[in-house]
Structures are given as C-alpha cells and as structure tokens.
Amino acid sequence: MSDLVLIRHGQSVWNLENLFTGWVDVGLSEQGEDEAKKAGAMLRGRRFDVVFTSMLKRAVDTADMILAEMGHPPVETIRAWEINERYYGRLTGMNKDGARREFGEDQVHVWRRSYDVCPPGGESLADTAARSIPYFQERILPRVQAGEDVLVSAHGNSLRSIVMEIDGLSRDEVVRLELATGDPRIYTWDDAAGRLVRAAEPE
C-alpha cells in the first residue's frame, strides 16, 4: 500500500496582498511558512520516496519546510513546470479588487471560476489541466502504483486538475473545488480497486 500526498503551497506574499500570481516566482508569507511547518508536523512519521514540486519558489519552499519539520532524510526531488500554477496573462500582478473595477465583477468571476474561459493572454483551468493531468498520469501516478509514497507540492489550479482526474470530478464540480493553502490531501493506492482512494485527514 502506498500513499500520495497533495499539498497546495502555503500562503504566498502575493496571496496575502490579494494579487493574481500565476507564474511570478514569489515567496511564502510568514503565515505561509507557518502553514508549511504545521503540515510537516501533521505528516511526521511518514517517509516519502520521491517529492514532486512545481518550478516555483513557493511550492519548492513549502516542500522543503515540510520535510525539515518532519525530520525527513534527503529524498529524490523532481521539479516540473507542468504542475506550475495557472498562467494569468494580463491579470498577472493585478490586485483582484482592482481587476473587478477595471473589467467588471462578472467578467473577473468568469475568468476565475469557469473551466475553459481564458483571461487575456492567460490560461483557463482547462489549459492547466491539459499539462498537469498528463504529467500526473505519466510521471507521478506510476511511482505510486509501484509502491512508493509520493509528496506533491504545487498550486491551487494544477492540484485541482489532478484531483479532478483522481476523483472523477465534472467540470462543474472542479470549478467549485477549493484547496486550502498548506492543507495535505491524502490518497492511498488500493490494489484491489486499481485506483487511488481518499484517506482520512491527519489530525
């Protein structure tokens, strides 16, 4: 039996400032660092065979802080752009309230919460899924199926895409899915069923 642990990075400094971040490489806020350490404490006692992160500092630092808090020995770590956050195009760096004033509340809501509508010059959730799901299927899932315990530290939209694949969510269901920062989501590989099954959350 092997486990897959998905975690959205801790709060970033741009999350704190309510800015569209996307691929901008910002660090964690003080709260985000605390969230990563708390996740590490929740996961203490586990051992991971491999860690996957995006290319972005906030996801990398979250994984590093989790492992440090766990007292985990050095482990294979793989960074992949395919599980980077959604790219927000023209919205990148904008304050979300400012974007609502410029483009209208309804339009910004559509850009943020629809499945396949892109902001100007950016990606939709469908675009993010088109890169993150194949990477999950080809690189991450086979490691779990081989009996390895895997940690994935990534982002709200890349992880929503992966959860959509694992849990068989519809487009309407995935756009309503919220993943809190720094909150581990754990799955166990069920050999009999041949699939990942959501596990009880750690205390």
Phi first, then psi: give them for residue 73, nearest 5 degrees. -70, 165
Query: Catalytic pick from 9, 35, 82, 123?
Result: 9
Pick left, alpha or beta for residue 2 (phi over 0 → left; psi -120 to 50 → alpha; otherwise beta). beta
Per the annotation, the verdict on 155 as an active-site residue is no
Long-range contacts formed by 12-15: CB under 8 A, 24+ apart? 12/58, 15/181
Residue 36 is inside which H or E element, if any? Answer: helix 30-42
Q: d(Cα 25, Cα 50) in Å, to the nearest integer?
A: 23
Q: d(Cα 75, Cα 73) in Å, to the nearest integer?
A: 6
Does residue 96 contact residue 69 with C-beta atoms inside 8 Å? Answer: no
Q: State the pairing for strand pair 195-198/185-190.
A: antiparallel
Query: Catalytic pick from 85, 123, 155, 165?
Result: 85
Q: d(Cα 61, Cα 33) in Å, to the nearest integer?
A: 8
Per the annotation, the verdict on 102 as an active-site residue is no
Q: In sequence order, what are the residues at sequence separation of 6 or more whose Cβ sits closer than 8 angstroms to the Cβ of residue 60?
A: 53, 54, 79, 153
- Give the residue numbers annotated as catalytic, written as ranges: 9, 85
